[in-house]
């Protein structure tokens, strides 16, 4: 059983002793005995421990190596000389040997005398002898242990790029056994690595490389290379330190997917509103927009007032868009829609377990909007306790999560809106006067549509083109009579009502021109009161008007049912419900049946 | 024959190398050459009465280690597989006595079933024999006994090594048998 030269070359040792699992010597190299404690005992068939007593007590470790359960065992820096004789120091290491079946073990011997003599000399003269010895005699096994404990893969090559050492992580990652990698060119593992001598001057700069695994997978790995030598010069070889990038890549993918989802959701929020542009020609809107442009550039709290449907949210969005916070979030909170009892937790978040059902920590809207804007719609609906907290946020820009103790500080601009009379609310005690005072720093009143009839046709055209795009209809114009009708109407529901009317009219309209008849506008006798009219009242008037316009015809192409977008049967039952009956003079409405 | 690895540990310059040299080579030197690495020697101890199972006696494999504070992984690997240790102090230097416990505990961490023998060396310089081992060590289960030794005169040296050898021969439960 001859020892293969590669086995020894890979280990850099010239002398060896081959022995079996009974510690019986099988083969001895020419000068091995010279390094033994008892040279005469280093002959075949003798117990290897007779010549190498350092193996006494290490039997368990040796059997583990034979089983493949351990990589190697060694004793460093053994002094083999008598006290007054010429010094001789040796490193003894045991490795798995060649041969399958009955495993053999190789004991390799390395003469480390020059090195140890140097240490001995320094130790004898230096005050820090102890430290010096410890630093210089750190064992190979010790270093191997450290390298094997590393999570990163480590590959050492010769100056020519032949792998001379790898650590356990490299073996685990690639799936190759360590001995299978020793002696292979570095390109075996890293096909992208330049063949031949590895480049110099690459110290510490990570490069991404594909690393071949035994299963044929190309694993993305980030490598840093460091020359072993003087400066950037490759003298002894090159050290490759590699980190598995697979997990990182997966994480990056996840994050970017989440980011884009988030982005598209935000975009959807910005664009999916009917008519996101603010359209006006009236001077009252002009003044508002000028004020808006000025206040947008500041961080001032803005209170937007205006009747329902005037587009207060649009105004808030515009302020955000024109502000320095435009790249951060605009978080909209409809105070009327917040679930009672959870208002504070919605706005300011809660800690895990803050109350029954608070299973996880939750970030509130204010924290979410940090750096951006919070738009509090229908602020008049905010419960009093939340008003107190909001007041503190406005004053100090800090708050606590529900159930939390740490003050969270945020940088948030607050825009509030209401269609109610907050002063009236202060009087009847449902709104804090100090909060109103804080919010009312810069009030913006959005004028109702009836105050700016010039804007109505413009807005109508705007909605017409928006809905045309959306519904693929090609209604291109509005006839003058229709424009007059639009301007003359009092628009109690303001812009929102106008948008609804245009949308409905477009469904009814079959040509390319919008006509007054398509609008189905019912001018209430006293528009002011109409605000308070019951839904049934409005619906009844609307039905009566439509029926009259259709000459009392319910069914058919020009009938009232078609114009209202209802089935004739539905219209009839609704008429019955609203107490509309057909008389001699046309339709009349009696009292609504109970 | 039974084989047993024994480590000689303790602070620097307490006389570890000198003790081994006295026991193995029956000689002594004034010169101090600090040990770097490890020196491994063998010494056969014949059986005593009551060592009936081991008519050949025991081969002690003595590891003379470099002295000091270093509890690095290297000394750890040197200590592995030892059945016992002689922990040495220098009676003329109290700090080496204080260090006994540290060395003892370090050895026992690596060899929990090992046994210890304490050597108060250079006893030829301690004329009133006043130096004592700390109580914490005397009551430690693993400590077999304490010897006053002098590598210079040879007093107590054989006694210490042989006491350890006889302990292994008697308590041979897990000896290394060739
Ligand atoms: N008087 C006296 N001197 C001793 C005795 N034992 C050792 N010495 C001296 O103490 C010095 C150190 O002895 P060593 O045996 O080298 O000590 P060591 O513990 O092996 O030292 P390191 O290997 O450096 O840890 C030498 O000069 C010895 O001659 C002793 O019993 N009596
Ligand atoms: Mg010594």
The ipTM value here is 0.87
Please report, rounded to a whole number, the percentage of residues in chain B having pLDDT higher than 90.
Answer: 57
Please indicate, yes or no, if residue B45 is contained in any of the structural domains.
yes
Helix, strand, or coil (residue A579) = coil
Q: Where are the alpha helices (DSSP H) in A137-282?
A: 140-149, 168-174, 178-181, 186-189, 246-271
* List of residues 6+ apart from B25 with CB closer than 8 A: A82
List the single residue in A57, A77, A145 with the smallest CB-CB distance to B176: A57
User: How far away is chain A from the Cα of B25, in angstroms, using its nearest Cα?
Assistant: 10
Range of lowest pLDDT (A65-79, A194-208, A357-371, A412-426): A194-208
Would you tell me how many other CB atoms lie within 10 Å of the CB of residue A173? 21
pLDDT given at position B24: 94
- Position B176 in a domain: no
CATH topology of domain A253-445: Rossmann fold (3.40.50)
Q: In B, residues 33-92, which contact A (CB 8 Å cutoff)? A: 33-42, 61, 63, 66, 68-70, 72-74, 77-78, 80-83
Of B12, B36, B73, the CB nearest to A119: B36
- List the structure tokens of A62: 């040796």
State the sign of the Cα–Cα–Cα–Cα dihedral A164, A170, A174, A178: positive
B138 is a domain residue: yes
Is B151 a domain residue?
A: yes
CB of residue B75 inside a 6 A radius of ligand 1: no
- C-alpha to C-alpha distance for B29 and A22, rounded to whole angstroms: 40
Q: What is the rounded (10 degree) CA torsion for A571, A574, A580, A584?
A: 30
Which of B25, B42, B74 has the CB atom closest to A137's CB atom? B74
- In the three-class reduction of DSSP (H, G, I as helix; E, B as strand; rest coil), residue A456 is classed as helix
Lowest mean pLDDT among A66-70, A116-120, A123-127, A297-301: A123-127
Q: B44: which chain A residues are within 8 Å (Cβ-Cβ)? A: none
Q: Give the whole-angstrom CA distance, residue A320 versus residue A315.
A: 9
Domain count, chain B: 1
> At A196, is the pLDDT very low, low, confident or very high (cuts 50, 70, 90)?
low
Nearest protein Cα to ligand 1, atom 14: B15
| Cross-chain residue pair A116–B176, CB shorter than 8 Å | no
Q: Token pair 């090159």 is at which residue?
A: A238
Fold of A5-111: Beta-Lactamase (3.30.450)
User: How much is the pLDDT for A528?
Assistant: 45
Instruction: Choose from A155-169, A284-298, A552-566 the range with maximum mean pLDDT.
Output: A284-298
Residue A295 DSSP SS3: helix
Tokens of A191: 């096909």
Q: A139–B74: do the CB atoms touch at under 8 Å? A: yes
Which two three-digit tokens encode residue A499? 């948008």
Query: Which atom in ligand 1 lies closest to the alpha carbon of residue B10?
Result: 19
Which pair of structure tokens corresponds to residue A153?
Answer: 């893969």
Separation of CA A141 and ligand 1 centre (Å): 29
Give bridge partners of residue A219 from the DSSP assignment.
A211
Q: Cα angle at A325 between A324 and A329, to 5 degrees?
A: 165
CA of B152 relative to ligand 1 center, distance in Å: 9
Q: Are A276 and A465 in contact (CB under 8 A)?
A: no
Taking CB atoms and an 8 Å cutoff, what residues of chain A touch B36?
77, 79, 116, 119-120, 123, 133, 137
Residues from chain A that touch B73, judged by Cβ atoms under 8 A, are 138-139, 141-142, 145
| C-alpha B127 chain-centroid distance | 23
Interface of A with B in 57-96 (CB under 8 A): 57-61, 74-79, 82-84, 89
Closest by CA position to A183, among listed A208, A201, A165, A209: A165
Distance of CA A216 to the CA centre of its chain: 32
Question: A322-350, pLDDT tens digit by residue?
Answer: 999 988 888 888 888 887 778 888 888 88
**In terms of Cα–Cα distance, which of A226, A72, A243 is closest to A157?**
A226
Beta carbon of B35 within 6 Å of any ligand 1 atom: yes
Fold of the domain built from segment(s) A150-244: Beta-Lactamase (3.30.450)
Predicted local distance difference test score (pLDDT) of residue A359? 65
Cα B22 from Cα B11, distance rounded (Å): 19
Architecture of domain A449-518: Orthogonal Bundle (1.10)
Task: For residue B178, tell me if it sits in a domain.
Answer: no
| Residue B122 CB less than 6 A away from ligand 1 | yes
Characterize the bridge pairing of strands A413-418 and A442-445. unpaired
CB contact under 8 A, A60 and B34: no
Q: Which two tokens stand for residue B71?
A: 């509890």
Q: What is the 3-state secondary structure (H, E, C) of chain B?
A: CEEEEEEEEECCCCCHHHHHHHHHHCCCCCCCCCCCCEEEEEEEECCCCCCCCCCCCEEEEEEEECCCCCCCHHHHHHHCCCCEEEEEEECCCHHHHHCHHHHHHHHHHHCCCCEEEEEEECHHHCCCCCCCCCHHHHCCCCEEEEEECCCCCCCCHHHHHHHHHHHHHHCCCCCEEC
Q: Which of A253-262, A368-377, A412-421, B120-129 has the lowest mean pLDDT?
A: A253-262
State in Å, rounded, how far the first CA of chain B is from the last one.
6
Residue nearest atom 3 in ligand 1 by C-alpha distance: B122
Of A47, A57, A75, the CB nearest to B178: A47
B118-127: buried (b, 16+ CB within 10 Å) or exposed (e) per residue? Answer: bbbbbbeebe
Helix runs in A331-454, H state only: 343-348, 365-368, 384-396, 422-427, 433-439
Indicate the SS3 state at residue A33.
helix
Does ligand 1 have an atom closer than 6 angstroms to the CB of B152?
A: yes
3-state helix, strand, coil in chain A (%, to 5): 40, 20, 40
Model confidence over A568-582: pLDDT tens digits? 777 787 777 777 776
pTM of the entire predicted model:
0.47
Range of the domain at B26: 2-170
Q: What percent of chain A has pLDDT over 90?
A: 20
- The pLDDT score that the predictor gives to residue A260 is 52
Asked if A176 and A214 count as a contact pair (C-beta separation under 8 A), the reply is yes
The tokens for B162 are 């042989």
Radius of gyration of chain B (CA): 15
Comparing A10 with B161, the larger pLDDT belongs to: B161
- Are the beta carbons of A105 and A18 closer than 8 angstroms? yes
How far apart are alpha carbons A24 and A41 in whole angstroms? 11
Per-residue pLDDT at A593: 42
The reported pLDDT for the residue numbered A544 is 80
Q: Tell me which residue has its CA closest to atom 7 in ligand 1.
A: B15
> Which whole number is the average pLDDT over B158-168?
95
| pLDDT higher than 80, residue A424 | yes
The pLDDT of residue A592 is 43
Residues B151, B157 contacting (CB under 8 angstroms) = yes
CATH code of the domain in which B21 resides: 3.40.50.300
């Amino acid at each position: 059983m001859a020892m293969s030269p590669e086995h020894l070359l890979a280990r850099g040792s010239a002398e060896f002793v081959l022995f079996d699992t009974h510690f019986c010597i099988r083969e001895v190299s020419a000068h091995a005995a010279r390094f033994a404690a008892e040279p005469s005992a280093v002959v075949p068939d003798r117990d290897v421990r007779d010549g190498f007593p350092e193996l006494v007590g290490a039997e368990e470790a040796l059997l583990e190596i034979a089983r493949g359960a351990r990589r190697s065992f060694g004793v460093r820096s053994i002094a083999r000389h008598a006290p007054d004789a010429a010094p001789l120091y040796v490193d003894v290491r045991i490795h798995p040997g060649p041969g399958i079946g009955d495993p053999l073990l190789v004991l390799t011997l390395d003469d480390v005398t020059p090195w140890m003599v140097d240490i001995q000399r320094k130790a004898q003269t230096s005050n820090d002898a102890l430290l010096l010895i410890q630093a210089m005699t750190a064992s190979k096994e010790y270093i191997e242990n450290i390298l094997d404990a590393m999570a990163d893969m480590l590959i050492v090559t010769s100056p020519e790029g032949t792998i001379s050492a790898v650590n356990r992580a490299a073996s685990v990652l690639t799936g190759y056994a360590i001995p299978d990698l020793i002696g292979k060119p570095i390109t075996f593992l890293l096909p992208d690595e330049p063949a031949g001598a590895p480049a110099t001057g690459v110290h510490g700069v990570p490069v991404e490389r594909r690393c071949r695994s035994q299963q044929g997978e190309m694993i993305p790995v980030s490598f840093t290379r460091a020359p072993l030598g003087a400066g950037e010069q490759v003298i002894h070889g090159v050290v490759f330190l590699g980190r598995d990038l697979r997990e990182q890549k997966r994480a990056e993918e996840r994050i970017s997917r989440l980011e884009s989802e988030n982005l598209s959701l935000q975009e959807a929020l910005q664009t999916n509103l009917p008519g996101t542009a603010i359209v006006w020609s009236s001077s009252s809107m002009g003044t508002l927009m000028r004020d808006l442009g000025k206040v947008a550039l500041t961080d001032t709290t803005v209170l937007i007032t205006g009747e329902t449907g005037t587009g207060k949210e649009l105004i808030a969005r515009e302020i955000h868009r024109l502000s320095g916070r435009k790249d951060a979030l605009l978080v909209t909170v409809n105070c009327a829609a917040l679930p009672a009892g959870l208002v504070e937790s919605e706005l300011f978040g809660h800690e895990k377990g803050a109350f029954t059902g608070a299973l996880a920590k939750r970030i509130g809207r204010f924290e979410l909007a940090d750096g951006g804007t919070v738009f509090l719609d229908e602020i008049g609906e905010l419960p009093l306790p939340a008003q107190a907290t909001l007041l503190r946020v406005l004053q100090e820009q800090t708050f606590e999560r529900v159930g939390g103790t740490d003050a969270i500080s945020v940088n948030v601009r607050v825009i509030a809106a209401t269609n109610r009379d907050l002063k009236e609310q202060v009087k009847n005690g449902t709104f804090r006067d100090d909060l109103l005072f804080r919010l009312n720093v810069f009030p913006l009143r959005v004028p109702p549509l009836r105050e700016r009839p010039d804007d109505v046709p413009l807005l109508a055209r705007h909605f017409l083109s928006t809905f045309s795009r959306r519904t693929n209809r090609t209604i291109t114009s509005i006839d003058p009579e229709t424009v007059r009708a639009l301007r003359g109407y009092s628009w109690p529901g303001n812009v929102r009502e106008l948008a609804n009317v245009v949308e409905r009219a477009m469904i009814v309209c079959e040509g390319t021109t919008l006509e007054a008849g398509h609008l189905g506008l019912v001018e209430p006798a006293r528009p002011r009161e109409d605000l308070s009219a019951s839904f049934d009242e409005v619906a009844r008037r609307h039905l009566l008007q439509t029926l009259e316009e259709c000459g009392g015809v319910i069914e058919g192409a020009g009938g009232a049912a078609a114009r209202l977008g209802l089935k004739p049967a539905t219209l009839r039952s609704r008429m019955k419900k609203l107490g509309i009956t057909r008389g001699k003079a046309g339709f009349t409405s009696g009292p609504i049946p109970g | 024959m039974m084989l047993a690895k024994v480590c000689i540990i303790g602070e620097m310059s307490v006389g570890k190398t000198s003790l081994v040299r006295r026991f193995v080579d029956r000689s002594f030197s004034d010169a101090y050459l600090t040990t770097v690495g490890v020196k491994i020697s063998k010494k056969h101890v014949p059986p005593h009465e009551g060592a009936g199972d081991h008519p050949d006696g025991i081969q002690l494999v003595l590891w003379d280690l470099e002295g000091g504070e270093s509890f690095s992984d290297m000394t750890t690997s040197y200590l592995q597989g030892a059945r016992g240790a002689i922990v040495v102090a220098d009676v003329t230097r109290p700090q080496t006595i204080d260090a006994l416990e540290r060395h003892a505990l370090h050895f026992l961490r690596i060899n929990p079933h090992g046994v210890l023998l304490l050597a108060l060396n250079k006893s030829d310089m301690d004329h009133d024999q006043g130096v004592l081992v700390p109580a914490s060590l005397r009551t430690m289960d693993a400590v077999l006994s304490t010897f006053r030794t002098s590598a210079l005169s040879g007093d107590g040296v054989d006694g210490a090594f042989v006491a350890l050898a006889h302990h292994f021969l008697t308590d041979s439960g897990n000896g290394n048998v060739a």
